[in-house]
């Protein structure tokens, strides 16, 4: 029969395990990119002359603060619907905002004239890929595994999604843990 001190110790260990105490590796994987997190590819139409964008340039584009490509073609933003992990990764990593701040940015920016481009929102990766394929000035994003030859992947800071140094990654959802 267990003594009360032994039972207390078991309860503390179980509660600690449930709260994630001592599970530093799992917490680190949520906070820092690693190879198990899928890269988020930035895509453009194959006719787009841009091959590489810096993180600040990418941010200005996805915040609607830049309206044209170097070839004078108008930029058309395409994004997935709110709640999608790909969108969350872009809004968090590229725009450095949460979803509510992102929406507020566009609402205020369109009203004041500081935002030149509002994003088109589509429901699926296939829809985003087809849109970018059909619109020469379009830019969007997909999981690297959803990219095909119909679109062009742009380097971010000199790196492609397959590179170890590539920084844009989709955080695994907490539900999948």
The pLDDT tens digits of the residues spanning 63-99 come to 999 999 999 999 999 999 999 999 999 999 999 999 9
- Say if residue 36's pLDDT is above 80: no
Q: Point out the least confidently predicted range of 11-20, 30-39, 147-156.
A: 11-20
- Say if residue 27's pLDDT is above 80: no
Q: What is the pLDDT of residue 34?
A: 47
Three-class DSSP category at 131: helix
Q: What is the pLDDT of residue 116?
A: 80
- Please say whether the beta carbons of 110 and 102 come within 8 A: no
Helix ranges restricted to H, the chain = 4-19, 24-31, 55-62, 85-89, 99-112, 125-134
Measured CA to CA, the distance from residue 38 to residue 46 in angstroms comes to 23
Average pLDDT, the chain: 83
- Say if residue 130's pLDDT is above 50: yes
Query: Sign of the C-alpha dihedral, residues 148, 151, 152, 156?
Result: negative
- Say if residue 20's pLDDT is above 90: no
Confidence band for 14, pLDDT divided at 50, 70 and 90: very low
- Per-residue burial over 27-56, b if 16 or more Cβ lie within 10 Å, else e, is eeeeeebeeebbbbbbbbbeebebeebeee
DSSP letter at 16 equals: H
Q: What is the pLDDT of residue 23?
A: 37
- Please say whether the beta carbons of 53 and 42 come within 8 A: yes
């Amino acid at each position: 029969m267990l003594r009360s001190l032994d039972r207390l110790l078991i309860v503390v260990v179980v509660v600690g395990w449930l709260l994630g105490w001592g599970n530093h590796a799992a917490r680190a994987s949520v906070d820092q990119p690693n190879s198990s997190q899928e890269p988020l590819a930035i895509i453009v139409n194959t006719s787009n002359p841009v091959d590489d964008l810096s993180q600040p340039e990418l941010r200005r584009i996805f915040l609607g603060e830049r309206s044209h490509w170097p070839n004078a073609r108008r930029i058309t933003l395409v994004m997935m619907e709110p709640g999608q992990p790909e969108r969350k990764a872009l809004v968090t990593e590229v725009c450095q905002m949460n979803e509510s701040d992102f929406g507020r940015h566009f609402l205020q920016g369109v009203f004041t004239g500081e935002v030149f481009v509002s994003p088109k929102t589509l429901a699926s990766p296939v829809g985003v890929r087809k849109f970018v394929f059909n619109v020469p000035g379009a830019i969007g994003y997909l999981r690297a595994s959803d990219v095909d030859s119909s679109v062009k992947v742009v380097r971010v800071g000199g790196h492609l999604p397959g590179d170890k140094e590539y920084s844009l990654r989709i955080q695994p959802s907490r539900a999948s843990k």
